[in-house]
Amino acid sequence: MIYMNAIEKQVLEKIKPSDEEKTRLENTASYLMKRAEEIAAENEIPGVEVQLVGSAARGTWISGTHDLDIFISFDPSLPRDKLEEYGLLIGRELARESESWEERYAEHPYTKLKFSGFDVDIVPCYRVESAEKIISAVDRTPFHNLFVREHIVGLEDDVLLLKQFMKAGEVYGSELRTGGFSGYLSELLVIHYGSFEKVLRAATSWKPGETIEMIKSKHSFEEPLVVVDPIDSNRNVAAALTLERFTQFISISRDYLRNPSETFFLKANPIPMSDEEILDSFKKRKTGLVAICFKTPDTVEDILYPQLFKMQKSVEALLEKHDFHVIKSKVWADEKSMLTIELENMSLSNVRKHFGPPVWVKEHSEKFRDKYINNPDTFKFYIEDGKYVAELPRKFSHAKDLLESEIYNCALGKHVNRSI
């Protein structure tokens, strides 16, 4: 126990923001919020309130992660188109002072800035009375902020440790391409269990369907981990968490508690393999690699990645249907998108066994027999284990030929299909 505490103390010394860093963040946030209020006044935009939310507002941000989430709230009576117009106007005016900026679109548009070394989101929302009366999804965020600030006091260091542990273990981040734990989820876990160590100890015995209810919910959830949102009982905070990341966290929690080490908090930077090492690896494995590469569609990640994952599953199913057995596959996207698949076998024999019904199922078996017994394409026709068998030529004996011919019959998603 002392050993673990000593490790965690060393880690905290590295990841906890310094007083200078905190002051710089507070000054930057204060300036941007004040400017947002001034811009609203100059443009006679009614009923504007500005607040800082997220980890920067709650003291749960890790040193070096300079993210600011500034919410511009409006009266619920304001029409949606006006909220978007005013929100973008304020964002664009603030962008005049930034190093770079772009407009992004989620449920409604918002502005992303690079300002004095900080990544800043300027997000418009409605100032509703309670989370049950939200008009858009982001309207919940101020209530999340309030709940965490009221309950996190004294546990901030535990949250920092948990976030760093999750980042190093590659299970942090609720965006769809990661499917991991969000910052809010990690805060709720610490609040619920009481410390970083208690979260890990609890996780060692988690099973799919694990449910944490800070408030009771009548809603039925099916995700691997269910954490009922304390400000909205119809929502699972862990809805984005995949089974892979869920079980990965269980595994690294067990490993750390079994043999504590500072390495669990350090993100590994693997050394890239040389061309020779890659080729040598494939020679040893005697597997095949096929890749589908195309220009990344011009769309946001929350639309792109579900389509990439959809393509991945559909292409795997196509390959398996034609007896090309998949070992593993992976998708990634930058300027180019790629699906890579490692196969047990890149090419197959030119013959496949096609099983018919049992001979005693008279009507169906005779139809099968009549179709194949005198067919010039049939290599051989016989009975095996009571069933008719026709040995037939394969349509595709190489994985590349199969994909080139049948890729458009896979479920690709609109944007991916168009790009391919």
Q: Length of the chain, please? A: 420
What angle do helix axes 196-203 and 183-193 make, rounded to 10 degrees? Answer: 90
Q: What is the pTM of this model?
A: 0.88
CA distance 404 to 413: 17
β-pair type (67-74, 100-105): unpaired
Q: What is the DSSP letter of 66?
A: -
Q: What is the CATH number of domain 275-347+399-419?
A: 3.30.70.590
Phi, psi at 284, each rounded to 5° = -70, -40
Instruction: Check if the beta carbon of residue 398 is closer than 8 Å to that of residue 290.
Output: no
Token couple for 345: 């076998």
Under DSSP, is residue 390 helix (H, G, I), strand (E, B) or coil? strand
Give the count of beta carbons closer than 10 Å to the beta carbon of residue 294.
15
pLDDT at residue number 256:
96
CB atoms within 10 A of CB 353: 11
Task: Tell me how far CA of residue 13 lies from CA of 18, 25, 157, 180, in angstroms.
Answer: 9, 19, 10, 25
Say which residues have a Cβ less than 8 Å from residue 135's Cβ, sequence separation at least 6. Answer: 76, 80, 126, 128
* Amino acid 124: pLDDT: 95
Give the pLDDT of residue 179: 94
Q: How many helices (H) and strands (E) does the chain have?
A: 14, 14
Encode pLDDT of 314-362 as tens digits: 999 999 999 999 999 999 999 999 999 999 999 999 999 999 999 999 9
> Which letter does DSSP use for residue 285 in this model?
H
One-letter identity of residue 134: I
Q: 156-265 maps to which CATH number?
A: 1.10.1410.30
Tell me if residue 398 falls in helix, strand or coil: strand
Position 252 scores a pLDDT of 98
Predicted confidence at residue 4, as pLDDT, reads: 63
- In the CATH scheme, what is the code of domain 18-141? 3.30.460.10
Q: Could you tell me the end-to-end alpha-carbon distance of the chain, in angstroms, rounded to an integer? A: 55
Where do the domains of the chain lie?
Answer: 18-141, 156-265, 275-347+399-419, 351-393
Which of the residues in the chain have pLDDT under 70? 1-4
CB of 405 closer than 8 Å to CB of 280: no
The identity of residue 18, as a single letter, is S
